[in-house]
A and B are shown apart, each in its own frame.
Chain A
Amino acid sequence: MPADRPSAMPAPAASSRPAEPAPAAPAEPPSAAPPRPAVYPAPAAARRSRRALLRVGGYLAALAAIALGWQITALAINSPALPTPIASVEMLIRYAPQLAPQLAISLYRVVISMLLGTALAVPIGLAIGRSPRLDAVLAPILYILYPIPKIVLLPVLLVLLGLADAPKIVLITITIFFQVLVTVRDAARAVPEQAVLSVRSLGARRWDVYRHVVVPATLPELFTALRISSGTAVAILFFAEAIAGSSGLGYFIVDSWAMIAYPRMFAGIIAMAMMGVVLYEVIDALERHFTRWRG
């Protein structure tokens, strides 16, 4: 049975469109702790600022530890392929003018794809999860398609959609789509029936049940899925950009590698790593904002 692939969605027209400026990164200490109910205002405020302080301290300590490990490894290996942290920062600064546009293109591709994949998967996942009948029909299709590594579709997409943005965006969208779909479906099935019953007893129709119970109950799982798949998305982006096209960080890295320009290559690697961290942190901040109730 031909599965209805999400590739039916309109692929954004080629790369003619200039990349969007990168969405604002979260303020370094990710926007402090969520606002707490003002039951006991004074202590809560004190606790909040203390927690923010601990968080910043934690990040700084973690950064220091990572830099130290990196420094030791680089000194031990002693190869131009792995520069020290300080040398890397120098490279990053040196190649910044060349890197910035590539970073913007890559970020544009991955963000658009994640938004598209999520927007397509969430409603379908909620519907399947809440309807045994729909689940009976669609779950077998899902079970077969989900484990297929979507990256194997890259050659097909390159043939069908060319070398520009479209195949990359479609590929990442498909990957995100399945990861989010399966997670949201499972989460929607696990919504406590007591909560549904109590809302229905208040006169809730199907739409109200989704809005007040099913959607908020599945949000934590959705964000977990997004955080995990942000890593997958960046990895797939790297492959796609490295194999086809002439733009993006993946291309920049592979191009430098071919020219044996290791410092340049490493600047690209750092930029790509930073993009991954920023994506993860943005999703983390969104999660904290939207699931404040979990404390």
Chain B
Amino acid sequence: MLRFTDVSYEYQTRNAALQALGGLSFAVEEGDSLVIIGPSGCGKSTALLLACGLLQPSGGEVLVAGRPLDAPRQSTALILQDFGLLPWKTVLQNAALGLEIRKVARRERENRARAALQSVGLGDFLQAFPRELSGGMRQRLALARALALDVSLICMDEPLSAVDTMLRESLQDLLLVLWHERGYTSLLVTHSIEEAVFLGRRILVLSARPGRLSALIDNPGMGTAAYRGDAAFYAKCSELRRALAGEGDAANKGNAVEENGVASKAVAAGKGAFDAR
């Protein structure tokens, strides 16, 4: 479904080129769930934007469904940290936005958006504006927008980092259920070890910047909400924590960069790509 082959990416900062990814290779099978985790500033978000076609690699190749990616793909959806909702559109309009851009007729897109909103429990808030929703509801709306598109690949950049723990777990459960029901390929970036183990059938640990594959952990036990209380879950969390510990040290010694700094650079680079069009 998704294959990175020796992918590197450089940001042009004012004074120098900053290498965010240095030769990253991995593959995700159709319908699988891959979580990317790594130390701050390791290029996690960059990898995600590359997978969505919003950035172009400086070196190497990104293939989605066997084809190189030179522009955002119609059947990929991206969910960002701040949800990427448009405050001037109602819940229904936000959920139908992807379909509107794809020029789906009004009646059909509203029906599909309504169904998607129903499936995330927002069926009663169609005419509300995003500012009238709680953080968890906004998150579910962002999810509904992706679901309405009926896409085959959903990329998520720390989608649950802005909600509190209790809500976070119920949204994780929702993500799990939807992944089972819909059968899409899921690519999730997180900095939470528990979230990675709960939602990732495979967990990719990135090295400190420039990001490379440091470890790929299989997690066959995931897939049920009960896993969270399982002994195997804790064992897997410890395994992941050990794998991350080495990388965290390396990052702290040398070139640790604020995650937000890199993320905003990624956004700036995305903007550059937009302007170049």
Contacts and interface: CB of A to CB of B under 8 A. Distances in A.
Interface of A: 37-39, 130-133, 193-206, 208-209, 212-213, 216-217, 219, 291-295
A47 to B, nearest CB: 13
Contacts of B86: 195, 199, 212-213, 216
Interface stretch (B174-182, B199-207, B240-248, B265-273): B265-273
B128 interface: yes
Interface stretch (B29-37, B96-104, B222-230): B96-104
B77 interface: yes
Contacts of A198: 78, 80, 83-85
A39 B125 contact: yes
Interface secondary structure of B, over-half rule: loop
A130 to B, nearest CB: 7
Given A37-B132, A194-B84, A196-B274, A201 B72 contact: yes
Contacts of B52: 201
Interface string B79-114: 011111111111000000110111000000000000
Given A198-B85, A212-B101, 13 more contacts: A37-B132, A39-B125, A195-B86, A197-B267, A199-B84, A200-B54, A201-B52, A201-B78, A202-B98, A202-B101, A206-B274, A213-B86, A293-B87
A203 B72 contact: yes
Interface in B230-277: 267-268, 270-271, 274-275, 277
Interface string B32-57: 00000000000000000100101000
Given A37-B129, A203-B72, A197 B78 contact: yes
Given A200-B274, A291-B88, A39 B76 contact: no
23 contacts: A37-B90, A37-B127, A37-B129, A39-B124, A194-B81, A195-B84, A196-B274, A197-B49, A197-B267, A198-B80, A199-B84, A199-B86, A201-B54, A201-B84, A201-B155, A202-B77, A202-B145, A203-B98, A206-B274, A208-B101, A293-B87, A293-B88, A293-B130
Contacts, number: 104
Nearest to A209: B274
Q: Most B CB atoms within 10 A — which of A130, A201, A295? A: A201
B67 interface: no
A219 B87 CA distance: 12
What are the 6 closest A-B residue pairs judged by CB atoms, nearest first? Answer: A198-B84, A201-B78, A37-B127, A202-B98, A216-B88, A293-B88
Contact of A194 (B77, B80, B100, B125): B80
A199 B80 CA distance: 11
Contact of B80 (A39, A131, A197): A197
Contact of A197 (B84, B127, B129): B84
A211 to B, nearest CB: 9
Contacts of A200: 54, 72, 270, 274
A83 B131 CA distance: 50
A212 B275 contact: no
